[in-house]
Amino acid sequence: MESNPLICVSICERSIGAIEQAIINASAFADVWEIRLDCVDQTQIQETFSALDNVLRKSLRPTILTYRPAQQGGKQELDKAARLKFWLIDRPASDSLLDIEFDLAIDPDLLDAGQILDWSRVICSHHDFNGVPAELVKLYSSMAQTPARILKIAVKANDSIDCLPVFDLLERAHEDGREMIAIAMGDAGVATRILGPSRGAFLTYGSPDDESATAPGQITARELREVYRVGKLDRQTEIFGLVGSPVSHSLSPRLHNAAFEATGTNAVYIPFEVRDLPAFIRRMAHPQTREIDWKMSGLSVTAPHKLAVMDQLDWIEPVAREIGAVNTILIDGKGLSGYNTDVIGFIRPLVEKLGNLSGLRSAVIGTGGAANAAVWALRNKGAQVTVFGRTAERAAALARKFGSDSRELVEARFDGFDLLVNATPLGTAGQFQSQTPVYAAQLRGARMAYDLVYNPIETQFLREARGAGCQTLGGMEMLIAQAIEQFRLWTGITAPEGVMRAAAQ
């Protein structure tokens, strides 16, 4: 391989025909294939080995052959004897790279096979699906003692801060002059998949499609190339991202990355799955304390951190402080500044739909950051607001904060309200998708229902509202409006609204 590949598509199929078709399907986005032979139906394995020679000869991309045992994330229970036999006797005769697990790479029978095995084509790999090993550097050093040309370490990230030791491995390998693949698996490790090549990784892995990921957190090769533009990222790329939990459902990366591309801005927007917010801000975001050398310049903040993040900031705009929630952070040499663009995002589509909001009889369901912004915005426009919450105490506290009324959500009825806002995460793609805070019977008599959830576009709440005869407004318009204001704050550039809208839709 003369040039360093960027995106490797992992192909996990049960037959040679399916492997060939997967190669064709992925050809537009892959720089290299990984053919996972442990995925092949073992009753067809010898037939597949024979036919694979011809497939590899016709391949227009470099190839990695992998025969992974179950304990390392493979699809078959393969003992050491079976794996040795494969690599020394059965494997197809090609110039492919060979992904061999560390436990096998130090086996004397393999080490003594110098005439049979070309170690310059070997990737020595190790996978840990439980977390980040305490002695990760020691593991790397041991693997570096093998004759393998390329090292690969993949660990499980449970929080975005678990990406830090993975990025450190890439730095260490660069200093040692070693070719390295280092990946944090899981949703919390996506940053390592996107930024790996720009920080020295030999390659990054992508799946052929949404259903065919071969490791936790693996995103599609198409997304890596078209949404995140991994081939265009470098050490000077500015880093922006979304901080929350969960974040994998978010469309914000599509909006902002499309806008960066359209405006020629060397920047990328990444989802950061964050549970320990203070640790993330301290170790990865704040310019005075972060433990990684990168140009992080701004963040979006979503549930459950919009209120808690305020304690981590150096300055907060008055409106955001009054609301009591921050959804946008600007990072510069002075520190972290907090803003709230949810207000603009929330109110703009509502005014376009209803016009003057003064005197509007409105109900807001929820007590979190989005609810705070919605209540403040409505009160600022002269609307009457009643806060509904599952907990009477929290609803009352939010209502008192902005001079509104409150009620319990249990068995609430909304007859007589001009507007009902769902400011909870219920209905969001994932574990909450089938849920709704209220049902059609409760909504009858309300004029309009506004769901701040945008993914999926058609939520259960909106279906219930239509069933009750209400007008409806989805969260996509709010998402786009607040993102436009975020983009302006971060870059000083007018956001390409048409580009962002097309990317979202």
**Backbone torsion region of residue 423, taken as left when φ is above 0, otherwise alpha when ψ lies between -120 and 50, otherwise beta:** alpha
pLDDT in tens, 405-418: 999 999 899 999 99
pLDDT at 423: 96
pLDDT at 305: 96
Whole-number Å distance between alpha carbons of 195 and 199: 6
pLDDT at 54: 83
pLDDT in tens, 491-505: 999 999 999 999 988
Whole-number Å distance between alpha carbons of 437 and 361: 19
Strands 32-36, 63-66: pairing kind: parallel
Asked if the model's pLDDT at residue 32 lies above 60, the reply is yes
Q: Which of 14-18, 24-28, 44-48, 385-389 has the highest mean pLDDT?
A: 385-389
Please choose, from the candidates 111, 112, 140, the residue with its C-alpha nearest in 3D space to the C-alpha of residue 126.
140
Asked if the model's pLDDT at residue 49 lies above 80, the reply is no
Asked if the model's pLDDT at residue 132 lies above 60, the reply is yes
pLDDT at 1: 38
| Mean pLDDT, residues 309-320 taken together | 97
| Mean pLDDT, residues 47-70 taken together | 86
Mean residue pLDDT of the chain comes to: 93
- For the chain, what is the total number of helices (H) and then of strands (E)? 19, 20
Classify the C-alpha dihedral 128-134-139-141 as positive or negative. Answer: positive
Tell me the two tokens of residue 193: 């998949």
Active site amino acids: 306
Give the lowest-confidence range in 25-39, 301-315, 442-456.
Answer: 25-39
| Mean pLDDT, residues 436-449 taken together | 97
Task: Set out the domains of the chain in order of their start, with CATH numbers.
Answer: 7-235 (3.20.20.70), 241-340+481-504 (3.40.50.10860), 343-474 (3.40.50.720)
Asked if the model's pLDDT at residue 2 lies above 50, the reply is no
pLDDT at 47: 80
Which pTM does this prediction carry?
0.92
Please choose, from the candidates 320, 319, 288, 322, the residue with its C-alpha nearest in 3D space to the C-alpha of residue 301.
320
pLDDT classification of 114: cutoffs 50, 70, 90: low
